[in-house]
């Protein structure tokens, strides 16, 4: 009797679960707010469609989305809750002007695993508050003041390129640019860095760790609860369970070691003497934000976003720029002619900003889709 009762319960549970999924699929296909938009019915019915292309086939969903655009048009539904728009003219409508209010999309920003950062702040007003405290550090005046830091790092990389040219050494520019941007952004954020540019392989292991983290985002997107589970596990246990995470965990610990003394005003005399400038965390500490916005955890989240995302994205843009310049030799010729007009001792950001071809073509090409489109016309 007990076995029969258990079997009946199991069958009932399975039937209820099946009915739930059927009802959910019907809702998504016919009654969901996005039901009227064109696109694959399989994609609209379940996230497993995206899971297959992004997790099983490892990052192929973006190419599948392009195929769907060709079949269904410029605005399509790519999963139960999201639309994808392939129209540069719609850029301002989506992101709005500075006067417009746009909340961020929670499921996407949660993937960063830094809930306290400005990047991961969903609400428009809350984000504006947090971002406002950091704005002075990213002003034109602040960037120009720190130009010597950037130039010093660029000169190191240029010297290594020159040496490689003489010796015949092959350098992976994506890794070299990652080392450059990481050293620069760490100098901006902490007034010190790990000298990745001086390592023989430009710290290839770090580049690979970041790429693995981005690839892991495809899985976390499908199972977002894993993010909170991973954050709940002690770092020492996580490094044993997932050895590939060791460098990432060491990096997080390094961010905390750099942030805590600044927030607690316990910096050593030697650290203060070594620092060439105030850091972004001095700005955050001395801002008008409430004490709840200046906690160690939130500040560490800001530090992780700045040094993690801020390095890879810029390195990717530089790598892409080099690729397209080499693919289009005529662009290189134009840039050389324009750059030749600058005296060697006057190669400042202010001077570069006055070069029309460099700014309108080389810089804006990577700024947004609308700039890309206009540069091709």
3-class SS string, 312-331: HHHHHHHHHHHHHHHHCHHH
- Give just the sign of the alpha carbon dihedral 234, 54, 212, 186: negative
Does an H or E element contain 78, and which? strand 75-79
pLDDT at 139: 82
Statement: residue 179 has pLDDT above 50: yes
Query: Taking 60 as the threshold, does the pLDDT of residue 255 lie above it?
Result: yes
Distance of alpha carbon 195 from the chain centroid:
22
Helix (H, G, I), strand (E, B) or coil at 143: helix
> Domain-by-domain residue ranges, the chain?
2-86, 104-323, 328-377
Both tokens of 321, joined, read 């720029």
Q: Are 316 and 175 in contact (CB under 8 A)?
A: no
pLDDT at 374 over 50: no
Q: What is the pLDDT of residue 45?
A: 96
Q: Which residues contact 286 (CB under 8 A, 6 or more apart)?
A: none
The confidence score (pLDDT) of residue 377 equals: 36
Of the given ranges (33-47, 81-95, 241-255), which has the lowest mean pLDDT?
241-255
User: Alpha carbon of 344 to those of 107, 143, 357: distances in Å?
Assistant: 48, 21, 19
pLDDT-derived band at 207 (thresholds 50, 70, 90) equals very high
* pLDDT of the residue at 20: 92
Distance CA 13, CA 26 (A): 20
- Residue that wins the pLDDT comparison between 74 and 354: 74
Instruction: Answer whether residue 357 shows pLDDT above 80.
Output: yes
Between CA 266 and CA 262 the distance in angstroms is 6
pLDDT (tens digit per residue) in 265-289? 888 766 766 777 788 888 889 888 9
Calculate the alpha carbon distances from 51 to 323, 324, 334, 364 in Å: 31, 32, 44, 34
Residue bearing the bigger pLDDT, 162 or 287: 162
- Identify the sign of the CA torsion 209, 212, 217, 223: negative
Q: Burial, 273: exposed, middle or buried (Cβ in 10 Å; 0-12, 13-18, 19+)?
A: exposed
CB 51 within 8 A of CB 222: yes
Q: For residue 79, which of 26, 36, 28 has the smallest C-alpha distance?
A: 28
Cα dist. 242→4, 141, 245 in Å?
A: 43, 43, 6
Among 35-44, 68-77, 303-312, 346-355, the minimum mean pLDDT is found in 346-355
pLDDT (0 to 100) of residue 41: 96
> Can you read off the two tokens belonging to residue 354?
């006055």
> What's the sign of the alpha-carbon dihedral 153, 160, 328, 67?
negative
> What is the radius of gyration, based on Cα positions, of the chain?
25
Under CATH, what is the fold of the domain 104-323? Cytochrome p450 (1.10.630)
Token pair of 230, please? 């991973």
**Centroid of chain to Cα 205:** 18
Q: Which of 306, 254, 250 is nearest to 279 (CA)?
A: 306
The distance in angstroms from the start CA to the end CA of the chain is: 78
Q: What is the DSSP letter of 84?
A: E
Rounded Cα distance between 302 and 338, Å, is 38
Q: Which residue from 315, 313, 359, 317 is spatially nearest to 335, judged by alpha carbons?
A: 359
How confident is residue 375, by pLDDT bands cut at 50, 70 and 90? Answer: very low
The residue among 364 and 86 whose pLDDT is bigger is: 86
Q: What is the 3-state secondary structure (H, E, C) of 174-227?
A: HHHHHHHHHHHHHHHHHCCCCCHHHCCCCCHHHHHHHHHHHHHHHHHHHCCHHH
């Amino acid at each position: 009797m007990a076995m029969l009762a258990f079997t009946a319960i199991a069958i009932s549970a399975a039937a209820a679960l099946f009915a739930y999924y059927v009802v959910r699929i019907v809702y998504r296909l016919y009654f969901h707010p996005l039901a009227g938009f064109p696109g694959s019915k399989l994609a609209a019915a379940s996230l497993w469609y995206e899971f297959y292309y992004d997790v099983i086939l490892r990052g192929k969903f973006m190419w599948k989305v392009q195929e769907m655009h060709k079949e269904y048009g410029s605005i399509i539904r790519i999963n139960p809750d999201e639309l994808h728009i392939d129209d540069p003219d719609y850029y301002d409508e989506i992101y709005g002007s500075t006067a417009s209010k746009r909340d961020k999309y929670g499921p996407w920003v949660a993937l960063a695993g830094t809930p306290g950062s400005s990047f991961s702040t969903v609400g428009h007003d809350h984000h504006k508050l947090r971002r406002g405290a950091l704005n002075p550090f990213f002003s034109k005046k602040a960037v120009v003041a720190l130009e010597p830091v950037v130039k010093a790092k660029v000169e190191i990389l240029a010297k290594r390129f020159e040496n490689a040219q003489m010796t015949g050494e092959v350098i992976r520019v994506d890794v070299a640019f990652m080392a450059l941007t990481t050293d620069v952004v760490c100098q901006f954020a902490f007034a010190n860095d790990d000298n990745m540019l001086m390592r023989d392989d430009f710290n290839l292991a770090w580049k690979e760790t970041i790429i693995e983290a981005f690839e892991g985002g495809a899985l976390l997107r499908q199972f977002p609860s894993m993010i909170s589970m991973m954050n709940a596990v002690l770092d020492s246990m996580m490094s044993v369970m997932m050895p590939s995470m060791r460098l990432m965990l060491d990096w997080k610990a390094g961010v905390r070691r750099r942030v805590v003394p600044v927030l607690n005003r316990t910096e050593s005399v030697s650290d203060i003497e070594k620092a060439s400038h105030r850091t972004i965390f001095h700005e955050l500490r001395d801002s008008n934000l409430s004490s709840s916005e200046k906690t160690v955890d939130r500040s560490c989240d800001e530090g992780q976003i700045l040094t993690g995302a801020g390095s890879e994205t810029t390195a990717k843009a530089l790598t892409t720029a080099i690729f397209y310049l080499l693919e289009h030799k005529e662009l290189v010729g134009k840039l050389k002619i324009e750059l030749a007009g600058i005296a060697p001792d006057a190669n400042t950001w202010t001077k570069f900003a006055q070069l029309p071809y460099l700014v309108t073509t080389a810089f804006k090409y990577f700024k947004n889709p609308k700039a890309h489109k206009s540069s091709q016309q």
